[in-house]
Amino acid sequence: MAVASFILGLVGLLALNVVLGPVSIVLAATALFRGTTRRGRAFLGFGLGVADLVVLLAFMSADNTLSWSF
């Protein structure tokens, strides 16, 4: 789950960050709660999930819309 969180958070920076950001956060939190041995990946996935949502908010505020596109 920690590795999946990391990968989804990384992909979420480029596309579908409204979906992949929260999924990455939930997977990272679940992995940390279960005591994963890959704590670094779980923390990176959590951080990338939060970054996905921050990027989404930044683009939404720049465009004054509820979504963003390139």
Tell whether the torsion through CA atoms of 15, 53, 55 and 46 is positive or negative: negative
In terms of pTM, does the model score above 0.75?
yes
Q: Which two tokens stand for residue 5?
A: 């969180």
* Residue 48 exposure: Cα atoms within 13 Å on the Cβ side: 27
6-58 residue pLDDT tens? 999 999 988 888 899 999 999 999 999 999 999 999 999 999 999 999 988 88
